[in-house]
């Protein structure tokens, strides 16, 4: 089947936009079967608003602990266990450099 550019109408703003052959090939390569319902600008705005609010994700619970290397307070997104060392961001980055 030969692909051709399609003119679609955005369901958000009502503006028409072109769904190019290259975009159609990309959608097919990702297994997407439906044409986009929003124009590129509305898709970008929706992506931005979802990432700013975290989408549907719950807010992350942060835990206070003390860095096992430098002894400074640290905040981590997991509950620290007594048998495992926990590092602050700076010490963790340093430990990754030496690996």
Q: Are residues 13 and 45 in the same domain?
A: yes
Q: Are residues 73 and 38 in the same domain?
A: no
| Residue at 1 is within a domain | no
| Residue at 58 is within a domain | no
What residue numbers bound the domain in which 90 lies?
A: 63-97
**Residue 67 in 3-state DSSP?**
coil
Report pLDDT digits (tens) over 1-28.
688 999 999 999 999 999 999 999 999 9
Name residues whose C-beta falls within 8 Å of residue 33's C-beta, 6 or more positions apart in sequence: none
Return the HEC string of 83-96: CCCCCCHHHHHHHH
On whether the pTM is more than 0.85, the answer is no
- Number of domains the chain is built from: 2
| Residue at 46 is within a domain | yes
Return the ∠ at Cα 10 (arms to 8 and 16), rounded to 5°: 50
- Whether the predicted pLDDT of 60 surpasses 80: no
């Amino acid at each position: 089947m030969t692909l051709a550019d399609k003119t679609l109408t955005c369901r958000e703003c009502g503006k028409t936009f072109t769904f190019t052959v290259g975009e159609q090939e990309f959608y097919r390569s990702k297994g997407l079967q439906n044409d986009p319902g929003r124009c590129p600008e509305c898709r970008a705005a929706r992506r931005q608003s979802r990432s700013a609010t975290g989408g549907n994700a719950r807010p992350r619970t942060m835990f206070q602990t003390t860095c096992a290397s430098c002894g400074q307070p640290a905040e981590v997104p997991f509950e620290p266990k007594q048998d495992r060392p926990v590092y602050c961001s700076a010490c963790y980055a340093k430990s990754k450099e030496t690996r």
